[in-house]
Amino acid sequence: MGPLMNNSREKEYPRSCNDEKYIIASFYKFVPIRNLEKLKNTLYHICWELGISGTVLLADEGINGTIAGTRNSIKDIYKWFCDQPNLNGLQIKYSKDTSVPFHRLKVRIKREIVTMGQQGIDPTSNVGNYVDPLDWNSLLKEDNTIVIDTRNHYEVEIGTFDKALNPRTNSFREFPAWITGTLEKMPDITKESKIAMFCTGGIRCEKATSYLKDRGYKNVFHLEGGILKYFEDVSDEENLWNGECFVFDNRVSLKKDLKPGEYSMCHACRMPLAQKDLESKKYSPGVHCPKCFGTHTEKQVKRFKDRQRQMELSNLRGEKHLGGIIKQDG
């Protein structure tokens, strides 16, 4: 391998071939990490050499990422992770696509690998009970189980489990306020209540259990590997999920078989759009949709229209336009 690249720059990858399957790997691990800058440089260099795109976040509390590449490149980076003493045993989920859903490679150092904004929470040492996806249905069916979807409201709206509570948050930062302001005011909730939480890949619900444990809750559970691992492990006949699962990349949503779903993305408000939204008179590609129509300033609308024109021109030239990238919640 050549010299380390400056990973403060965001490198763009060439357009993928539609006849080749690409692997998308989502992973995380709460583990104390030292020498973050060194790990950042090393990981960026290896991913770049392997032709991997996506985003990896590093923090004192661990690692969190979603990356994409060929089957061999993902296999090679997984082997590298396994060789690292503190990174083996990653929670990792796989899915496929005919093209790379990410336009760039980013490796960044953050305060948290998923942002809750609560001091004193330590998911590296204090979390709830892991529930294997194959055991999740049994927990859901117990009458005394309080099920909480820890994802954002727009994620929940396109799919969830039947009995799950929806905190209706805009970001994970708002989750602690929902716990203290809503959940803890419910008459049947006590520190002994059995609470089961889930999210897309497991990282948010795992950190949420750490928060609840810190507040004195004793019977806290979370779906190991999240919804994506549940889709991977549980048969169609046994799968209790309703709808599709939102993902923070250009696929927008996944079906139970982990194939891209039916939703599109409004690049103005970043909300998922169903077919009926695309047919609405309030929908203009890249400018507004029924969910954000009338909420933007004239200056914003002009900027959105300019960006949409640039994206359309890029598509005609067979190029990628970075304005279409979806930002991940954190």
Tokens of 143: 């009458």
**What b-and-e string marks burial along 214-245, b requiring 16 or more CB atoms within 10 Å of the CB?**
eeebebbbbbbbbbbbbbebbeeeeeebebbb
The residue among 188, 147, 181, 153 whose CA lies nearest residue 167 is 153
Which residues sit opposite 53 in a β-bridge?
Answer: 68
pLDDT for residue 285 is more than 50: yes
Residues 219 and 221: their CA atoms lie apart, in Å, by: 7
Q: Does the pLDDT value for residue 12 go beyond 90?
A: no
**Beta-strand pair 272-273/264-265:** antiparallel
- Domains plus CATH for the chain? 11-109 (3.30.70.100), 129-243 (3.40.250.10), 263-319 (no CATH)
pLDDT score for 329: 52
**Contact 263/255 with Cβ under 8 angstroms?**
no
This prediction's pTM:
0.84
Helix (H, G, I), strand (E, B) or coil at 24: strand
- Amino acid (1-letter code) at residue 120: G
What pLDDT digit, counting tens, does each position of 208-255 carry? 999 999 999 999 999 999 999 999 999 999 999 999 999 988 889 999
How confident is residue 313, by pLDDT bands cut at 50, 70 and 90?
confident
Known catalytic residue: 82? no
- pLDDT tens for each residue of 133-176: 999 999 999 999 999 999 999 999 999 999 999 999 999 999 99
Cβ-proximal residues to 223 (8 Å cutoff; 6+ apart), any chain: 131, 133, 136, 196, 197, 198, 199, 202, 205, 229, 230
Class of residue 108 by CB neighbours under 10 A (exposed 0-12, middle 13-18, buried 19+): middle
pLDDT at 156: 97
**Confidence check: pLDDT of 100 > 50:** yes
Low-confidence winner among 16-25, 40-49, 96-105 (lowest mean pLDDT): 16-25
Specify burial of residue 57 (Cβ count, 10 A radius: 0-12, 13-18, 19+): buried
Q: Which of 199, 245, 266, 289 is catalytic?
A: 199
H/E element holding 78? helix 71-83
- pLDDT above 50 (res 194): yes
What is the average pLDDT value for the chain, to the nearest integer?
Answer: 89
Q: What is the pLDDT of residues 54-92, one digit of tens each?
A: 999 999 999 999 999 999 999 999 999 999 989 988 878
CA distance 200 to 205: 9
Instruction: Please give the share of the chain, as a percent, with pLDDT higher than 70.
Output: 90
Phi, psi (deg, nearest 5) at residue 25: -115, 120
Q: What are phi and psi of 49, to 5 degrees?
A: -65, -30
pLDDT score at 319: 63
**Cβ(176)–Cβ(116) under 8 Å?**
yes
Residue whose C-alpha is closest to residue 22's, from 96, 101, 93, 94 = 96
Half-sphere exposure of 164 (CA within 13 A, CB side): 28
Q: Is the pLDDT of residue 196 over 50?
A: yes
List, for residues 250-282, the tens digit of each pLDDT value.
Answer: 889 999 999 999 999 998 999 999 999 999 999
